[in-house]
Amino acid sequence: MYFFAYGTLAKSLRGYATGVVVGHGTVRGFLLNLGRFPGIVLSNTDDAPVVHGTLWRLTKRSDEDIFTDLDHYEGAYGERPLYFRKQTTVILDDGGVVEDVWIYEFNHEQYDFDDKYAPIPSGDWFNKEAV
């Protein structure tokens, strides 16, 4: 099972899951600065910007659902979740393509992203100033 992290979990899963880094890559979408962490709005168009991140292969720690702790960490639960867990395609830096990769997409319809959150043109949370 694959997971793409583009922000605070890109460098370390911080104990919320176990896994190994497969590589670095991109997905199509718009990266937003939500303050202490980023959010992504995914896009299916070829001309959309890219968002940089890390592709993880997740492994189970126990019989517990692999996403229980990650969903809680990302706020992907309740009536007004901050994120939704979705699947997307990742293009690896070496040109490889991995489909059906889990990612957390910002719940932009609930939180009016157009008016509040600055886009990150570089698509890279760790290099926010680069264009």
3-state secondary structure of 9: coil
pLDDT at 43 exceeding the cut of 80:
yes
- The mean pLDDT value for 69-95 works out to 95
Q: Which CATH class is domain 2-123?
A: alpha beta
Quote the pTM value. Answer: 0.91
**Strand, helix or coil at 114?**
helix
77, β-bridge pairs: none
pLDDT at 14: 84
Cα–Cα distance for residue pair 117/110, rounded to 1 Å: 13
Q: What is the pLDDT of residue 15?
A: 83
Residue 60 has pLDDT above 60, yes or no: yes
